[in-house]
Amino acid sequence: MGERVARLEVVEGDWVEPGRILAYLSNYAVQRSRRDLVASRVTELTAQLQADTAAAEEQVAQSTAQMAQIDRPQLLQMQAQQAVLEGAEAELASAMTTRDRYRQLYRDGAIAQQDLDDQELVLQQAQARVIQAKETLEQLRRSRETNLQKAQTDLNYAKAVLIQVKTHSGLESARQELALAESQLEQTLIRSPQTGKILQIFAHPGESLDKQGLLQLGDTRTMYAVAEIYETDVQFIRIGQFATVHSPVFVQPLRGKVAQIGQLIFKNQLTSDDPAARTDTRVVEVKIKLDESEAVATLSQLQVDVEIEL
């Protein structure tokens, strides 16, 4: 109500299908521009989100690869160092056994002091190698833990950035705004709700819509005659009874059947040219489905006389 018609897409007599645009209202251009603006913003945000997501995913992949590069090689280094330690410990055990045997030989006078001293030196060197191997292994362990913690922190940060990119891009809000703009744009269009023929146009370009609306649309493929039956006679009417429709317009009367009997009683709306005809009577509307709709497809609202065969 009150909206002005900007452009009509049909003329009287046109046959339209459901959904066809009948007219554009005056604010169509404004709403279309607004829709296009929001749509372009959605496109830009989508492209930006794709770029940011790709960058964040690349960072996640790099952090994951970094963890793999730290984890496996350094673990192998630790395993190698563990083998070194075990070898040093074996050498130490052998050196201690040899030293103990040399001590017994020295007490028995079988070897000189110098031989015992040499073996003590070998034992000390073996002990030093064990200590060094343990320290190296501990350094590798601490270094691996530190590097893994740093890599895990980098990976967690990269994942957090990726989540933030996906959830705080503003794209979802823009999409909802676009849906609203599409809905508001659709309200500036008047579409046909059904299949039918344009019978009469009430509002033309530049005119405002009033209670009559834009136009009158009817499916004239199936035509009916509406008979006003006296309230005292409606008791004799049944669905399926044959009826004949008369009018000076017709070359010969039209045939049909009773298709619907109204549920309300009201004062008659039509009057006859016969001065003796009853007026101001109470009637019920009865719809007669005509057998030949094409004959009267262009005669909507024609006043006729109806005869129902009881």
- How confident is the model over 148-161, as pLDDT tens digits? 888 888 888 888 88
pLDDT of residue 275 exceeding 60: no
Query: Which of 74, 123, 125, 131 has the alpha carbon at shortest distance from 101?
Result: 123
> What's 32-174's CATH class?
mainly alpha
Domain boundaries along the sequence of the chain: 1-27+189-212, 32-174, 220-308
- How confident is the model over 11-42, as pLDDT tens digits? 999 999 999 999 999 999 999 999 999 999 99
- How confident is the model over 50-68, as pLDDT tens digits? 888 888 888 888 888 887 7
Is 263 or 165 the better-scoring residue by pLDDT?
263
- How confident is the model over 118-146, as pLDDT tens digits? 888 888 998 998 899 889 888 988 887 88
Residues in the chain: 310
**N-term to C-term CA, the chain:** 46
Q: What confidence tier does 111 reach under pLDDT thresholds 50, 70, 90?
A: confident
In CATH, 220-308 is 3.30.70.2190: no
Residues 6+ apart with CB under 8 A from 110: none
Question: 195, 107 in Cβ contact below 8 A?
Answer: no
Identical fold for domains 1-27+189-212 and 32-174, yes or no, is no
- Reported as half-sphere exposure (CB side, CA atoms, 13 A), residue 103 has a value of 8
Q: Give just the sign of the alpha carbon dihedral 216, 222, 223, 227.
A: negative
- The per-residue pLDDT of the chain, averaged, comes to 89
* Distance in angstroms (rounded) separating the CA atoms of residues 120 and 103: 10
Residues 6+ apart with CB under 8 A from 297: 197, 220, 221, 223
pLDDT of residue 310 exceeding 60: yes
Question: 65, 103 in Cβ contact below 8 A?
Answer: no
Task: State phi, psi for 308 to the nearest 5 degrees.
Answer: -110, 130
CATH topology of domain 1-27+189-212: OB fold (Dihydrolipoamide Acetyltransferase, E2P) (2.40.50)
